[in-house]
Structure 1
Amino acid sequence: MKFTFGLSLLFASMTALMLGAAGAPTKRDIFSPPILYPHAGTVWYSFQYHNVTWDTAGAPTTISNEALLLLASGGVEAPFILAKGFDLRLGRVQIQVPYVLANTNYQLVLFGDSGNLGPVFTIESDTPA
């Protein structure tokens, strides 16, 4: 009994010390802008260039993380980084559509301070006739 009480007291003391040493939590900039383009029903073709756009309303003055744009299929990130290191506050970035299998369930994932999955759209493997 004494051993259990002593361990509990030691654990509580160590936890209080660790929390005190960490200081007050720092405020993080959280910005998860909705993707505006491509929108539902958009059809892209491999190798075309497009401006991906998102809503910048409410963007913080500084964003601590590097922005990243990925291509996803069926809600799972594909191994395609479409853009990285851009300023999320600009509201757009130009990308070239990679050569992928034609499918109707592609989405973009916009990372800055948190991930944001865009609407489902289509990519065709060949350029239009």
Structure 2
Amino acid sequence: MNSLMTMLFFALTTLLALATALPVYVRDVFVPPVTYPHTGTVWFVGQKHNVTWDISGAPSQITNPIGSIVLAHNGLLNLTHPLASNFSILAGRHEITVPDVSPDNSYTIVLFGDSGNDSQNFTISK
């Protein structure tokens, strides 16, 4: 019985050593702040603009590096018509075309990748 316990001990010790030797890949959630558009920005329907965000704090391993940009109005996201999708969140910018929407000053841009991060309110005019 004593040799069986010794064998089990060495087997478990070996398994523990192997498990701790495996590389660990930690991925972080990256929520870059949107820098443009911002309060005071006025976009006109049909114009092209670069939506920009700060990538300076990007971790080395990102959970989801693929981004999308959605327009929100009064807090309601237009998820069925994204302004852009399938781009690298590490690009720091992406060009969009301003959609034909009702003029108002309560629009925001929501940047999705790992997490959603929205811009300040801005205006869209015709």
Give the TM bin, normalised by the shorter chain: 0.7 to 0.9
CA–CA distance in structure 2, aligned partners of residues 104 and 111 of structure 1: 22
Equivalent pair of 1:67/1:87 in contact (CA under 8 Å):
yes
Query: How far apart are residue 90 of structure 1 and its match?
Result: 1.2
Q: 1:89 is paired with a residue of what secondary structure? A: helix
Partner residue, 1:21: none
TM-score, with structure 1 as normaliser: 0.72
Whole-Å Cα distance in 1 between the matches of residues 103 and 72 of structure 2? Answer: 13
1:113 and 2:108 correspond: no
- Which position in structure 2 is the counterpart of 1:70? 70
> 1:43 maps to which residue?
42
Deviation at 1:117, TM superposition (A): 1.3
Shift of 1:62: 4.1
Give % identity: 48
Paired residues of 2:68 and 2:82 also in contact (CA < 8 A):
yes
Q: How many residues align?
A: 101
Q: Is the 8 A contact 2:62 2:114 kept in 1?
A: yes
RMSD: 1.7
Q: Give the drift of 1:55.
A: 0.5
Q: CA deviation at 1:61?
A: 3.0
Q: Give the structure 2 partner of residue 10 of structure 1.
A: none
**Offset of residue 75 of structure 1:** 1.2
Cα distance between partner residues in 2 of 1:57 and 1:63: 13
Q: Distance in 1 between matches of 2:62 and 2:70?
A: 19
Deviation of 1:54 after TM superposition, in Å, equals 0.5
Higher Cα Rg, which structure: 2
TM-score by length of 2: 0.74
Residue 63 of structure 1 contacts residue 112 of structure 1 at CA under 8 Å; is this kept in 2? no
